[in-house]
Amino acid sequence: MTEDLDALHTALVERLDTTPAIRDAFAAHPRHRFIPDMVWPDATGSPLYRSTDPGRWTRLVYSADAVTIQANDGGPGPRNEPSSSSSAPQVMADMIAAAGVGEGMRVLEIGTGTGWNAAILSTLVGAKGAVTSVEIDPGVAALARERLTGTGVTVHAVAAPPDGEVYDAVIATCAVTRIPSSWTAALRKGGVLVLPWSPHPAAHSTPIAALRHRGGSVSGRFVREGAFMRDRTQRPGDLPFPGLGRQPVPLEPLAVGSVELIGSGMMTPLLLMLPGVRLGTGMRPFQGRPGRIVWMGAGKAWAYLWPDGTVTGGGERALGEELAEAYRMLREAGLPGVGHFALEAGPDRGSYRVVCEAFDGYWEHAVSS
Ligand SMILES: C[S@@+](CC[C@H](N)C(=O)[O-])C[C@H]1O[C@@H](n2cnc3c(N)ncnc32)[C@H](O)[C@@H]1O
């Protein structure tokens, strides 16, 4: 069995699209050594135990996806809301590459989880470097510390970087809207902070930004799409589905239907171009069957885009028109992906600025502290 797992790990490493150094560091730390016996494969229902279904456990561990190792902060719940996981390997490799992690560096990770990413970082920085990882959940931190024995990684069961320490790179593996000042304070000037960011805490995606410390501010490009769990100190709480129970009013139709828009890769660019708007996807009854829609909400205003391009909504803000205008801009610019966008965040600003090289101007996202 162990031999099979090692072979599966080798195949996972070979599939990574990354640098030889990052591939070698992954090769040194088989994923199965970091995933616990109990995992949460489904959105509802019971957990899966390796001892009762080793085949399914192995398929999950050696899939290209994230593996949830804890739901609902370790407590019960109507759904298995992921609260700790092993991230998708390609996403990890891309974040490590974006942070420029190399020999001799001091690296801070926010969100130890299984400890797998920290182990890989420790190999990359080598004996002359150092890796510190902080994890808000003491139980998760304790298990990771055990798994990381012999790697030289220091794990702290806390919610913020250690006071006074400064690192060459910071990698956050939980998503934020407001970048904590303790994260930028932990970064040396010129260092890189890689983090999943979204303009509001209930966003459907959390694209990964690589931000350089430029003294008073941090700024840099988005490097890829992402869908990370939230920093536990910045969760959105329960928010109502926009427009639920309200009378649907027909609005101007869009040039694209919801299913096509979702498949176009433009949902995250739209999120970045629509300040103050919650944007998501969901299922609603459509022509007698469940249909995938794009929904928007801002205050009491809402809009739904349906599979056939029709738009319904209401409220004080013309969300359907805003969506149509942003989509028109994207289409005219050749549908630029998230890698064409960048983020600028000042230390004490109440808003973060998103820019895109395809357009003049910027979008200012208000962020409450
Ligand atoms: C996606 S998982 C981490 C994956 C991990 N790097 C790995 O390799 O397995 C995100 C982790 O962030 C932790 N977390 C959430 N908010 C945090 C905070 N403010 N400080 C430290 N850890 C936090 C969660 O408990 C969770 O374990």
CATH numeric code, 2-234: 3.40.50.150
What are the start-end ranges of the H helices in 231-280? 258-263, 267-273
pLDDT of residue 348: 64
- Quick one: average pLDDT of 66-81? 96
Instruction: Find the residues whose C-beta lies inside 6 A of ligand 1.
Output: 83-87, 110-114, 116-117, 134-137, 140, 159, 173-174, 228-229, 231-233
Q: Which of 107, 134, 173 to mutate to test the pocket of ligand 1 (most atoms within 8 A of CB)?
A: 173
Residue range 212-267, pLDDT digits in tens = 999 889 999 999 999 999 999 999 988 888 998 888 789 999 999 999 999 999 99
What gap in Å lies between CA 27 and CA 328, rounded to an integer?
45
Q: Which of 112, 116, 158, 228 to mutate to test the pocket of ligand 1 (most atoms within 8 A of CB)?
A: 112
Domain boundaries, the chain: 2-234, 249-332
Q: Find all residues with CB under 8 Å of 135, minimum gap 6, and list them.
A: 111, 112, 113, 141, 144, 155, 156, 157, 158
Q: 231 CA to middle of ligand 1, Å?
A: 7
| Residue 132 near residue 115 (C-beta atoms within 8 A) | no
Residue range 284-340, pLDDT digits in tens = 889 999 999 999 999 999 999 999 999 999 999 999 999 999 999 999 999 999 999
**The tokens of 280 are what?**
């998501």
Q: 227 CA to middle of ligand 1, Å?
A: 13
pLDDT of residue 245: 84
Q: How far is CA 271 from CA 56, 204, 279, in A?
A: 35, 9, 6
Residue in 202, 318, 342 with CA at minimum distance from that of residue 269:
342
**The tokens of 208 are what?**
């990964």
**The tokens of 63 are what?**
């899939």
